[in-house]
C-alpha cells in the first residue's frame, strides 16, 4: 500500500515514515519544511508542498502516486503560541485539514490516520483519562484538534471516509539507531530542554509551579516513546486496511512522571548537573495528565514497551550528536 505522510519531515512524522518503510509499504512525504528538516527525509519520495494549497492540487498528487491512505502530522503545536496567535492555528490546523479531506475525497482516498492530542480533553475530571472523557479544550490548539476530529467524522458520514484519531500524550525520545530525534526551534518540550541544560546550552530549567497537589508538587505527565507512537500508527493503518471503522485512541503508558522525576532521570542518565529554578504556574496547566490506553491495547493490539529511562537515553544520544558534543 502507498501511504502519504503529511508532515513527514517533522519529529513524529519522520519516525512513522521510517516505520512504514520498514514494513514494506511505499511512502511519499509531503512537507513544506517550515518546521520540518530535510535531514529527516530519508524514507520515501519527498514532495515539497503545503496543505494550504488548493484541494485540486492535493487530489492530483494523491492520484498520481496511487496513494491509498494518508497519515496527517502537519500542524502548529505550541499551546502558548495558540493563545497569542489563534488565527495562525485555525488557518493551518483546520484549513489544512479541510483541504486534505477535500483532496482525499476527490481522489477517492478513504483512509486517514490523524495526529490528535490529549489537549482535546481540557482539564481532566478524572485520571487516567479515557476516550469517553468529555472533549472540552481550554486553548485554541486543543480546539483545532477537536474540530478536526469532528470534520473527519462529518466526512465519514457524508463520503465514507474512515479515520483513526490518535490522541498523544507527551511524546519523547529518539530512534534507537540515533538517525532521527526531537528537533524543534524554539524548543518547548521538557526532555530536550533539560538535556540542553545538561549540555550547558541553558543555564537552568524553569519548573512552572512546585505547589500542585502531586507527590512532589510538580506537574505529572504521561511520557510515551516516539517509536511506540510510530508503531501505533502502523497498527491503526492495519485496522483500516482490514475494514475497521473510524475510532479515536489515547496513546500513553498509563502512568505519570513528575517534572522533577524527569529532571532527576536526566541527571542520572547524563551524569551531569541540571540547575532548577522555580517559576510561577502557567495558566491552564493541569496537575496530572495520564492516559488510559486500554482501548488501543484491546482494539489495536498496541502496548508501549519503552520507559522513561529509554526515552532519555535515546534522546541524549541524539541531542549530543545534534549539537556535536560527544
Helix axes 259-270, 190-198, angle to 10 degrees: 40
3-state secondary structure of 110: coil
Q: pLDDT per residue over 185-213, tens digit each?
A: 888 899 999 999 999 999 999 999 999 99
Domain spans of the chain, in order of start: 2-171+223-251, 190-221+254-322
Instruction: Tell me the pTM.
Output: 0.96
CA nearest 64: which of 13, 103, 6? 103
Q: What is the DSSP string of 140-152?
A: HHHHHHHHHHHHH
276 forms beta bridges with 205
Of the CATH numbers 1.10.3720.10, 3.30.457.10, 3.90.25.10, 2.30.110.10, which one belongs to the domain with range 190-221+254-322?
Answer: 3.90.25.10
Q: With contact defined as beta carbons under 8 Å apart, do 249 and 165 qualify?
A: yes
In order of 100, 103, 107, 158, the CA distances from 110 in angstroms are 11, 11, 9, 12
How far apart (Å, rounded) are the C-alpha atoms in residues 16 and 22? 10
Q: State the first-to-last Cα distance of the chain, in angstroms, to the nearest integer.
A: 40
The pLDDT value recorded for residue 326 is 57
Residues of the chain with pLDDT under 70: 326
pLDDT digits (tens, 9 = 90+) for 66-108: 999 999 999 999 888 999 999 999 999 999 999 999 999 999 9
User: Which helix or strand (DSSP H or E) is residue 230 part of?
Assistant: helix 226-241
CATH 1.20.1090.10 fits 2-171+223-251, yes or no: no
Which residues share a beta bridge with 278? Answer: 207
Residues known to be catalytic: 141
Host H or E run for residue 14: helix 11-22
Q: Return the beta strands (E) in the chain as ranges.
A: 2-6, 26-31, 45-48, 69-72, 111-117, 162-168, 170-172, 205-208, 220-221, 223-225, 247-251, 257-258, 276-279, 288-289
pLDDT for 188 equals: 85
Amino acid at each position: 500500500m502507498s501511504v502519504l505522510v503529511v508532515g513527514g519531515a517533522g519529529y513524529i512524522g519522520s519516525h512513522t515514515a521510517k516505520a512504514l518503510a520498514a514494513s514494506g509499504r511505499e511512502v511519499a512525504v509531503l512537507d513544506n519544511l517550515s518546521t520540518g528538516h530535510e535531514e529527516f527525509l530519508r524514507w520515501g519520495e519527498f514532495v515539497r508542498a503545503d496543505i494550504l494549497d488548493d484541494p485540486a492540487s492535493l487530489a492530483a498528487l494523491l492520484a498520481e502516486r496511487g496513494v491509498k491512505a494518508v497519515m496527517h502530522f502537519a500542524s502548529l503545536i505550541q499551546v502558548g503560541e495558540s493563545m497569542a496567535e489563534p488565527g495562525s492555528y485555525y488557518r493551518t490546523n483546520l484549513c489544512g485539514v479541510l483541504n486534505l479531506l477535500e483532496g482525499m475525497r476527490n481522489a477517492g482516498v478513504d483512509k486517514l490516520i490523524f495526529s490528535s492530542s490529549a489537549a482535546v480533553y481540557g482539564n481532566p475530571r478524572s485520571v487516567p483519562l479515557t476516550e469517553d472523557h468529555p472533549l472540552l479544550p481550554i486553548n485554541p490548539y486543543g480546539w483545532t484538534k477537536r474540530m478536526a476530529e469532528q470534520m473527519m467524522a462529518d466526512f465519514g458520514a457524508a463520503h465514507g471516509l474512515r479515520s483513526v484519531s490518535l490522541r498523544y500524550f507527551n511524546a519523547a525520545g529518539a530512534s534507537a539507531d540515533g538517525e532521527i530525534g526531537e528537533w524543534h526551534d524554539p524548543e518547548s518540550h521538557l526532555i530536550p530542554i533539560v538535556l540542553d541544560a545538561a549540555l550547558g546550552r541553558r543555564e537552568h530549567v524553569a519548573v512552572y509551579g512546585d505547589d500542585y497537589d502531586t507527590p512532589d508538587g510538580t506537574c505529572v505527565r504521561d511520557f510515551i516513546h516516539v517509536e511506540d507512537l510510530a508503531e501505533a500508527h502502523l497498527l491503526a493503518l492495519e485496522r483500516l486496511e482490514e475494514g475497521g471503522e473510524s475510532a479515536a485512541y489515547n496513546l500513553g503508558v498509563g502512568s505519570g512522571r513528575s517534572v522533577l522525576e524527569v529532571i532527576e532521570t536526566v541527571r542520572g542518565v547524563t551524569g551531569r548537573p541540571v540547575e532548577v529554578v522555580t517559576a510561577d504556574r502557567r495558566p491552564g496547566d493541569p496537575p496530572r495528565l495520564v492516559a488510559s490506553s486500554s482501548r488501543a491495547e484491546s482494539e489495536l493490539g498496541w502496548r508501549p514497551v519503552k520507559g522513561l529511562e529509554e526515552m532519555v537515553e535515546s534522546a541524549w544520544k541524539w541531542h549530543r550528536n545534534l549539537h556535536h558534543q560527544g
